[in-house]
Amino acid sequence: KYSWWAVGVAKSSVKKKEWIKMSPEEGIWALRHQQGQLKSLTSPRIPLSLSPVPTRIWVCLD
C-alpha cells in the first residue's frame, strides 16, 4: 500500500491558488511522511526519527 501525508502551517501571505514548493523559504513549515520515512520539508529535506510514526496530530492555535 502506498500512501503519504504532509502537515504544516503557512504564512497568510502564501499564494493559495498556485503550486509552490513546501519550504520555509516559501512561508510553509511542514512535515511529510512517505514510504515509511518522516522528513521535515526544509531545504535540504531532513529525515526525522520518530517511533512510532505519528497517527494523530494535535494542533494548538494561539
Domain segments of the chain as ranges: 21-48
pLDDT for residue 19: 87
Look up residue 38 and give its three cell numbers.
518522516
Residue matched to cell numbers 492555535: 61
Helices (H), 4-59: none
Residue matched to cell numbers 504564512: 11
Tens digits of residue pLDDT in 3-61: 888 889 899 998 888 888 889 999 999 999 888 888 999 989 999 988 887 778 787 87
Q: Pick the closest to residue 54 from 45, 41, 37, 42 (CA basis).
A: 37
For the whole model, what pTM was predicted? 0.71
Look up residue 22 and give its three cell numbers.
513546501
pLDDT for residue 35: 85
Residue 53 contacts by C-beta under 8 Å, 6 or more apart in sequence? 33, 36, 38
